[in-house]
Amino acid sequence: MFKPKYGTEIVSKVLNCFVDDHLRWFDYGVEWSIRPLPNKEGWYQLEANPSYDGASFEGFTEMSFSEEPLTGKELTEDMMIILVEAGVAWNINVDNPEAPAEYCLEDVELTQVVAALSDEDSHIFSSWDNRCFVLNVKTGEAKHHDMTDLIFSLAAA
């Protein structure tokens, strides 16, 4: 869950490019979507699910391993320039100041992309099993929280 600082059209363009072109989730049988959270104005949920019965998550990752430079189309139409400005995409020619800047997403994780798209005064929440990952967008502080006691208290209520 996250609170974007940009409109859904821009957020969707960036996520679509990252998830489909760099993580290649569809190739691994995973489809994704974002949807507004009911009763939580401005907050959205990113969901990933198998794209068909029997889909395998083999190869599925939230980390980009692509060394390919971002294309002009990705930087402009797909709005990946946001990731450059946020310092998420990095200049592969940084050690060669005479070469033109070219940016790539090698070793960039989905949470970094979502944080670049999120309101600075918010958090990113990602639950899995009985744990919740929480990232403070402003400070970058990240914590994992065990939700076992919360889960059992809800069952007892």
According to the model, what pLDDT value does residue 4 have?
A: 98
According to the model, what pLDDT value does residue 13 have?
A: 97
How far apart CA 125 and CA 135 sit, in angstroms, is 7
According to the model, what pLDDT value does residue 157 have?
A: 67
According to the model, what pLDDT value does residue 123 have?
A: 97
**56 in helix, strand or coil?**
coil
How far apart CA 139 and CA 24 sit, in angstroms, is 30
**Helices in the chain by DSSP H: which ranges?**
8-16, 72-76, 81-85, 110-117, 148-156
Domain ranges of the chain: 8-156
Per-residue pLDDT of the chain (157 residues; tens, 9 = 90+): 999 999 999 999 999 999 999 999 988 888 999 999 999 999 999 998 887 776 777 778 999 999 999 999 999 999 999 999 999 999 999 999 899 999 999 999 999 999 999 999 999 999 988 999 999 999 999 999 999 988 889 887 6
The amino acid that residue 45 corresponds to is: Q
How far apart CA 20 and CA 90 sit, in angstroms, is 19
Expressed in percent and rounded to 5, the helix, strand and coil fractions of the chain are 30, 25, 45
